[in-house]
Structure 1
Amino acid sequence: MSLIAILSEVLVVLDYVVKVVAVGTVPENRKPGSSSAWLLLILFLPIVGLPLFLLLGSPYVTGRRHRLQQQVNQVIAERVEDLPSLPPGLVADAHLASLLGLNRRLTSLPCVSGDHRRLLPDGEFVGALAAAVATAERSVHVEFYIAALDATTEPFFDALRDAVARGVTVRFLYDHLGSRKYPGHMRMNERLTADGVEWHRMMPIDPLRGRWRRPDLRNHRKLVVVDGRTGFVGSQNLIDQGYLVRKNVRAGRRWVDLNVELTGFVVQSLEAVFATDWLAETGETLTQVDAVGPEPSGGSTGAFQVVPSGPGFPTEPNLRMFSALIHAATRSVSVVSPYFIPDDGLEQAITTAAYRGVDVELFVSEKADQFMVHHAQRSYYTTLLDAGVRIHMLPFPAVLHSKVLVVDGERAVIGSSNMDMRSFSLDYEVSLLGLEPAFVGELTAKVSEYRERSRELTPAEWSQRPLRQRYLDNVMRLTAALQ
Structure 2
Amino acid sequence: MTVALSSPGAAISAILVAVNIAIILGALLVLPGGRRPQTAMAWLLLILAVPLFGFLVFLLFGRTSVGRKRRAQQEEVNAAIMARVPLNDIADAERQAALAPLVQGFARLNRELGVLPMTFDNSVELIDDYVACVEAMARDVATAEDYVHVQFYISAWDEVTAPFFEELVRAVERGVAVRFLFDHIGSKGIPVYKDMLRKLEGTGIQWAPMLPIRPLKGEVRRPDLRNHRKILVVDGRVAFSGSQNLIEACYDKPKNQKLGRAWVELMARLEGPVVQELNVVFATDWFTETGEDLREVVGAVPPPVDEPVRPGAITGVGVQVVPSGPGFTTENNLRLFTSMLYSAERRLSLTSPYFVPDDSLLYAITTAAQRGVEVELFVGATADQFMVAHAQRSYYEALLTAGVRIWLYPEPYVLHAKHFTVDDRVAVVGSSNMDMRSFALNYEVVMMMTGAEVVAGLERVQDTYRSLSTELTLDVWRARTRGQRYVDNLMRLTATLQ
The TM tier, using the shorter chain, reads over 0.9
> Superposition RMSD on alpha carbons, in Å?
2.2
Aligned equivalents of 2:302 and 2:138: distance in 1? 30
Match of 2:310 in 1: none
How far did residue 292 of structure 1 move? Answer: 8.4
How far did residue 303 of structure 1 move? Answer: 1.1
Match of 2:414 in 1: 399
Match of 2:363 in 1: 348
Give matches, 1:128-139, under 5 Å.
128-139=136-147
Aligned equivalents of 2:87 and 2:252: distance in 1? 46
- Mean Cα displacement is larger for which, 374-383 or 247-256? 247-256
Deviations 1:63-89 (A, max 9, x none): 222122222333355455745865644
Deviations 1:201-232 (A, max 9, x none): 11111222333332121111111000000000
Give matches, 1:50-449, under 5 Å.
50-78=55-83, 79=85, 82=88, 86=92, 88-90=94-96, 91-121=98-128, 122-287=130-295, 291=299, 301-449=316-464
Partner letter of residue 273 of structure 1? V
Whether the 8 Å contact between 1:236 and 1:258 is mirrored in structure 2 is yes
Partner letter of residue 400 of structure 1? L
Identity of aligned residues (%): 49
Cα 1:453–1:460 shift into 2, 3 Å: same
Instruction: With the length of structure 2 as denominator, give the TM-score of the two structures.
Output: 0.92
Whether the 8 Å contact between 2:358 and 2:435 is mirrored in structure 1 is yes
How far did residue 437 of structure 1 move? Answer: 3.1
Cα 1:130–1:81 shift into 2, 3 Å: closer
Whether the 8 Å contact between 1:114 and 1:262 is mirrored in structure 2 is no
Q: Indicate the SS of the match to 1:183.
A: coil
Cα 1:288–1:273 shift into 2, 3 Å: farther
Whether the 8 Å contact between 1:119 and 1:259 is mirrored in structure 2 is yes
Q: Please, which runs of 5 or more residues in structure 1 have no aligned partner? A: none
Aligned equivalents of 1:155 and 1:304: distance in 2? 29
Match of 1:29 in 2: 34
Partner letter of residue 74 of structure 1? A
Whether the 8 Å contact between 2:237 and 2:302 is mirrored in structure 1 is no
Number of positions where the alignment pairs a residue of Structure 1 with one of Structure 2: 483
Q: Indicate the SS of the match to 2:150.
A: strand
How far did residue 250 of structure 1 move? Answer: 2.8
Q: Indicate the SS of the match to 2:321.
A: strand
- Mean Cα displacement is larger for which, 362-371 or 437-446? 437-446
- Mean Cα displacement is larger for which, 259-268 or 33-42? 33-42
Aligned equivalents of 2:188 and 2:274: distance in 1? 32
Aligned equivalents of 1:213 and 1:12: distance in 2? 29
Aligned equivalents of 1:447 and 1:222: distance in 2? 21
Cα 1:225–1:81 shift into 2, 3 Å: closer
Whether the 8 Å contact between 1:265 and 1:295 is mirrored in structure 2 is no
How far did residue 61 of structure 1 move? Answer: 4.1
Aligned equivalents of 1:34 and 1:227: distance in 2? 43
